[in-house]
């Protein structure tokens, strides 16, 4: 716990943490102060000169930048004194001087710091007497995902600092001097690093924009839903930003314990997968049937089977609720298959395990040993195989998958719960469409044992499409629709939490934004191993989007 000190901001006493800078002190107490170059998770630069405050020094009153000044005990700070305001306004006026007024075509409009700050702190009379200087370079192809607009840049150097200090792939720099200075790629460089999308997030104006999001939607139409990224075991906190039941982008959500405010491009640009190759109607031998018929057929077929004859195979892609439903309702033959970790990995965020919830399977004690089941299948003692949310027949290097392909004829009934039309769909008897994780509530446990919730963002195409856990419950118990105990996956969570001490005190909607740290062995190192990223973090900080 850091030591707290008292400072005087605008003639009022505030408790702030020792050694934090004035911007963080103001943010902690909701005192408005504009900034462009300052970012909580980037080194302080002091290049934009807009966070000017007046402080009392032994030499007298001094106007200085708030981001470069640390608080001292008893310090007197004025953010709204005449001189401070004049300095703020002048700096802002200079920033806007050569900035093009193309907000209508700029994707940043709506979440642009220059817009926001100008509304709050700017001067509205226009004083230019000379022609505007054009820095040229609009819509330059600067990277795999990045479009650069040199004209819009206000030279805050956030992107440069991010690439230099965190990703450590220097690709951008500022060239020329004075009013001609502009941001530019280094010669023969191209933004190719796997975190490039973050530069567009932190850009306070529309100088860096994402190719994938460019002109798709205006940001004020987007609704934000708190969720997590499911592309690797890291499970970064994200916002699913959607409109008209379509996801338009993923944005990292601040989580000081996990991904800070960053996310990798692999996760960020995976949002299209939520809408590709979806399956909305139940299939029986590749022919479309109704949901009622589907559940009736399955109940009829499974009624005569003993529980020992039914095998349940799940992958590390499902939510905790699905594992709980498997564990509680589906008997002993439930196996969790771990596909090989073959993805790209690095020290920042990316992990090789390209699935989100391997820890969840462990937490719920699902069997991962496949040998007994392989044995049973080979002996023909399995009458029904139910595959849950895993493209089983696409796993080339897995022994279970190999065995399954060889002995497929020995299993008379194969049921597949899936949201996507993948390879397995073609090889099973019944396909039960389920919701994606963006269409239902759910919880996931990431590689560093952090339980996070993913809230429902989209409405499923068909109202009868259930979350996987509820579909499983229905199949396992043979319940009719009106007999179901659960109408939403969050109710399944509320049921399961009572069995675990660590979760008992949190209802689904009370799960903290930053997740619940579970006391269980971790599968991977903490993120940003050996890299300093918490440059300006102090304990009194509020979430970024609130300030």
Partner 1 sequence: MVKIVRRPHLAGMRKLYVVEILGGLLTTLAHVLRNLFFPEKLPTVFYPENRKAIPAAYRGRHRLMKREDGSPRCTACMLCATSCPAFCIHIQAGEADDPFKEKYPVDFTIDLLRCVFCGLCVEACPLDAIRMDVPLVSFAGYRREDVILTKEILLQHENADYAHAPGYNPHRPLSVTHGVHYINFLKNIK
Interface residues with partner 1 (CB under 8 A) are 102-105, 109, 126, 138-139, 214-216, 218, 220-221
> In the bound complex, what is the minimum distance in angstroms from residue 102's beta carbon to partner 1?
7
> In the bound complex, what is the minimum distance in angstroms from residue 78's beta carbon to partner 1?
33
| Residue 147 or 471 with smaller CB distance to partner 1 | 147
> In the bound complex, what is the minimum distance in angstroms from residue 118's beta carbon to partner 1?
14
Put residue 544 in one of left, alpha, beta given phi > 0 → left and psi -120 to 50 → alpha: alpha
Report which secondary-structure segment, H or E, holds 310: strand 310-314
> In the bound complex, what is the minimum distance in angstroms from residue 216's beta carbon to partner 1?
8
> In the bound complex, what is the minimum distance in angstroms from residue 42's beta carbon to partner 1?
29
| Residue 221 or 280 with smaller CB distance to partner 1 | 221
Residues 360 and 337: their CA atoms lie apart, in Å, by: 12
| Residue 92 or 325 with smaller CB distance to partner 1 | 92
| Residue 216 or 480 with smaller CB distance to partner 1 | 216
| Residue 105 or 517 with smaller CB distance to partner 1 | 105
> In the bound complex, what is the minimum distance in angstroms from residue 126's beta carbon to partner 1?
7
DSSP sequence for 353-417: ---S-HHHHHHTT-B---HHHHHHHHTT---EEEEES--GGG-SS-HHHHHHHHTGGG-SEEEEE
> In the bound complex, what is the minimum distance in angstroms from residue 139's beta carbon to partner 1?
4
CB neighbour class for 107 (10 Å; exposed up to 12, middle 13-18, buried from 19): buried
- Among residues 360, 373, 298, the alpha carbon closest in space to that of 331 is found at 373
Q: Which two tokens stand for residue 150?
A: 């040199």
Q: Spell out the SS3 assignment of 409-444.
A: HHCCEEEEEECECCHHHHHCCEEEEECCCCCCCEEE
3-state helix, strand, coil in the chain (%, to 5): 30, 20, 50
- Among residues 431, 435, 411, 412, the alpha carbon closest in space to that of 422 is found at 431
Neighbours of 17 (CB within 10 A): 19
Which residues on adjacent β-strands are paired with residue 12?
9
- Among residues 66, 73, 103, the alpha carbon closest in space to that of 3 is found at 73
| Residue 104 or 463 with smaller CB distance to partner 1 | 104
Q: Spell out the SS3 assignment of 249-292.
A: EEEECCECCCCECCCCHHHHCCHHHHCCCECCCCEECCEECCHH
- Among residues 395, 418, 400, the alpha carbon closest in space to that of 340 is found at 395
> In the bound complex, what is the minimum distance in angstroms from residue 215's beta carbon to partner 1?
4
Question: Could you tell me which residues come within 8 angstroms of residue 88 by beta carbon, excluding any fewer than 6 positions away?
Answer: 34, 50, 51, 52, 121
> In the bound complex, what is the minimum distance in angstroms from residue 220's beta carbon to partner 1?
7
- Residues recorded for the chain: 547
> In the bound complex, what is the minimum distance in angstroms from residue 158's beta carbon to partner 1?
23
| Residue 123 or 345 with smaller CB distance to partner 1 | 123
| Residue 76 or 109 with smaller CB distance to partner 1 | 109
- Among residues 425, 391, 423, the alpha carbon closest in space to that of 280 is found at 425
> In the bound complex, what is the minimum distance in angstroms from residue 105's beta carbon to partner 1?
4
C-beta of residue 391 within 8 angstroms of C-beta of residue 355: no
| Residue 107 or 265 with smaller CB distance to partner 1 | 107
| Residue 124 or 532 with smaller CB distance to partner 1 | 124
| Residue 133 or 280 with smaller CB distance to partner 1 | 133
């Amino acid at each position: 716990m850091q030591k707290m000190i008292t400072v005087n901001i605008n003639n009022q006493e505030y408790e702030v943490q020792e050694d934090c800078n004035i911007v963080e002190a103001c943010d902690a107490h909701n005192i408005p102060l504009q900034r462009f170059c300052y970012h909580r998770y980037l080194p302080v630069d002091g290049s934009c000169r807009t966070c000017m405050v007046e402080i009392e020094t032994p030499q007298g009153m001094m106007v200085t930048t708030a981001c470069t000044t640390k608080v001292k005990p008893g310090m007197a700070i004025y953010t709204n004194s005449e001189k401070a305001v004049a300095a703020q306004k002048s700096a802002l006026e200079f920033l806007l001087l050569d900035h093009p007024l193309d907000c209508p075509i700029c994707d940043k409009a709506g979440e642009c710091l220059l817009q926001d700050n100008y509304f709050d702190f700017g001067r509205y009379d226009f004083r230019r007497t000379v022609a505007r200087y054009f820095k040229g370079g609009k819509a330059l192809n600067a990277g795999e995902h990045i479009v650069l607009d040199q004209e819009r840049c206000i030279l805050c150097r956030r992107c440069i600092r991010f690439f230099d200090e965190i990703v450590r792939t220097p690709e951008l720099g500022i060239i020329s001097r004075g009013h001609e200075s502009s941001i530019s790629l280094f010669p023969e460089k191209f933004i190719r690093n796997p975190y490039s999308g973050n530069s567009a997030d932190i850009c306070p104006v529309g100088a860096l924009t994402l190719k994938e999001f460019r002109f798709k939607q205006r940001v004020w139409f987007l609704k934000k839903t708190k969720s997590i990224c499911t592309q690797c075991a890291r499970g970064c906190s994200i916002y699913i930003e959607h409109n008209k039941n379509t996801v338009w982008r993923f944005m990292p959500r601040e989580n000081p314990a996990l991904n800070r405010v960053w996310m990798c491009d692999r996760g960020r640009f995976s949002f299209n997968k939520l809408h590709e190759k979806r399956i909305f109607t139940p299939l029986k031998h590749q022919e479309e049937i109704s949901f009622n018929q589907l559940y009736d057929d399955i109940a009829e077929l499974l009624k005569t089977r003993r529980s020992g004859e039914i095998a349940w195979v799940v992958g590390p892609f499902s939510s905790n609720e699905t594992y709980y439903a498997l564990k509680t309702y589906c008997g002993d033959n439930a196996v969790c298959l771990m596909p090989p970790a073959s993805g790209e990995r690095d020290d920042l965020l990316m992990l090789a395990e390209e699935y989100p919830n391997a820890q969840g399977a462990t937490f719920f004690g699902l069997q991962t040993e496949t040998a007994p089941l392989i044995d049973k299948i080979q002996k023909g003692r399995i009458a029904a195989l139910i595959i849950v949310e895993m493209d089983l027949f696409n796993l080339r290097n897995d022994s279970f998958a190999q065995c399954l392909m060889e002995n497929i004829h020995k299993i008379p009934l194969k049921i597949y719960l899936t949201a996507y039309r993948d390879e397995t769909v073609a090889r099973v008897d019944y396909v039960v469409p389920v919701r994606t994780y963006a269409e239902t509530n759910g919880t996931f446990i990431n590689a560093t044992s952090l339980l996070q919730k993913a809230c429902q963002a989209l409405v499923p195409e068909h109202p009868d499409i259930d979350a996987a856990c509820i579909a499983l419950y229905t199949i396992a118990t043979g319940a009719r629709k009106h007999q179901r105990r659960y109408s939403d996956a969050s109710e399944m969570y509320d049921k399961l939490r009572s069995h675990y001490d660590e979760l008992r005190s949190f209802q689904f909607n009370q799960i903290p934004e930053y997740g619940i740290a579970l006391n269980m062995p971790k599968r991977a190192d903490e993120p940003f191993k050996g890299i300093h990223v918490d440059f300006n973090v102090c304990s009194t900080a509020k979430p970024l989007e609130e300030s």
